[in-house]
A and B are shown apart, each in its own frame.
Chain A
Amino acid sequence: MSEINTDSGHGGGKKGQPKKMNLRVDFTPMVDMNMLLITFFMFCTSLSKPQVMELVLPVKDDQVLNDDEKNKVKDSKAITLILGAKDKVYYYLGKIDKEKYANWQSLKETNYAPTGGVRDVLAERNAETVKEIVKLKQQRLKKEITEDAFKEAVSTLKNDPNGLVVVIKPSDESSYKNMVDVLDEMQICGIGKYALIEMSEGDNYLLKNYLSQGEYASGAAAPNK
């Protein structure tokens, strides 16, 4: 298709004059091929690399020690999230005690919605840290502080000993997405101290009691813990 039109010039050109050469290359097939390549690249590659979320679980032998440590957590600053079935989250504040077993409404229900969900619950309780982090982010945006200084400031804020402590307990009915969503909320709400722990007997009791609206408590004795 690449046309090399050589004007043979029947009688047109004068003798002795150089022949007019029309050198025009048709690029249509080249474009066709390039388009095919582009299509291939669009289908077979991804522009964004996946992200990773670091997760550190306690070594199993230390689990016993961990339970003790958990009790040291300041009651007013601890919040336990139980991830339930059907994208529901149940939470209670502080430690489990007799009062909580007696009252089925001691467990509060919420969800993963962007507003009015678990994020609001956490952000409200961690409002100061959230505010500080937003301020730091603005400073970083204006280049008032360096990236390193920002990271350090955020990490000191997150590790504040008086900060909110979140205990995450995924139930067997929850999905992996729920777990990641909640871990993500920790990131969003600037919570540095959280732990992923298995449901305890007491948590199961509370959950069953809540779901049956107090009926379960009349049939089963509360675990003594």
Chain B
Amino acid sequence: MGKVKTKKKDTFIDMTAMSDVTVLLITFFMLTANFIPLEPIQVITPASVMETKVPDYNLINILIDPKGKVYMNITNPAAKRDKIETLERMGAKYSITFTDKEKANFGEPTTFAAVPMGLMKQFLTVDVIEQKDFLREHDGGGIPTDSLNNQLAEWIKAAKAVNRDFQLSIKADQNTPYPLVRGVTSTLQDIKENRFSLVTQLRGMPEGF
């Protein structure tokens, strides 16, 4: 009796509610977000008021960087076989035989056709993660588009021969000089692919329109 009891204070914070909130946030992100595709170069596209979204399937994506380097990829979750077949056709055209491992490497969704055909075999032996370093060592790579050795046209022809439904989209950096873009569109026109889409960012419609 008479002893002053020091009350033991409980510093325990209940994190359950916090955890609930974070789980909800994660669910939201998982359901709404889509992953930024890994690309050999970072491209900042210009903005437009168009509201049509990029199609998910059967898309040939052509990337153009400000220096005019061209990369190509086929984006389609089920495109692995189509992609490999395209590579086989290209191999046959340039008399290069690819091993199964190289083909599988090309079938990865993040592997772009990023180098001239002469370097392709070497490029595909490199691990997916090290592809960027490989490109850096080879001056950025890029598919040749000049009129004498227009491999971009060959790639698209090969891809189209594999699957007629492939649509073309061009994703160019906003600072690319027009003649470089013109080179690519003119290549497409040459092979009678005159319908394609330009990838842009969303911009709001201005007031009063």
Contacts and interface: CB of A to CB of B under 8 A. Distances in A.
Given A51-B199, A130-B209, A177-B175, A30 B15 contact: yes
Nearest to A57: B194
A48 B202 contact: yes
Contact of A183 (B45, B48, B201): B48
A59 B198 contact: no
Question: Interface SS of chain B: helix, strand, loop or mixed?
Answer: mixed
B7 to A, nearest CB: 16
A12 B67 CA distance: 80
Contacts of B177: 172-176
Interface in B9-55: 12-16, 18-19, 22-23, 25-26, 29-30, 32-36, 45-55
A14 interface: no
Contacts of B47: 180, 184
Interface residues of B, number: 63
Contacts of A119: 206
Contact of B200 (A35, A53, A57): A53
Given A56-B195, A59-B194, A175 B175 contact: yes
Contacts of B180: 176
Contact of A35 (B13, B22, B185): B22
Contacts of B205: 188
A69 B95 CA distance: 45
B36 A57 contact: no
Nearest to B23: A34
Given A41-B29, A45-B29, A51 B36 contact: no
Given A51-B201, A55-B196, A178 B178 contact: yes
B63 to A, nearest CB: 12
Contact of A175 (B34, B51, B174): B174
B18 A54 contact: no
B192 interface: yes
B102 interface: no
Nearest to B192: A59
Nearest to A54: B197
Interface in A129-188: 130, 133-134, 170-181, 183-184, 187-188
Contacts of A60: 186, 189-190
B176 A27 contact: no
A38 B29 contact: yes
B200 A180 contact: yes
6 contacts: A3-B12, A24-B12, A50-B200, A51-B52, A171-B178, A173-B177
The 5 closest A-B pairs by CB, nearest first: A27-B15, A45-B33, A34-B22, A177-B174, A52-B197
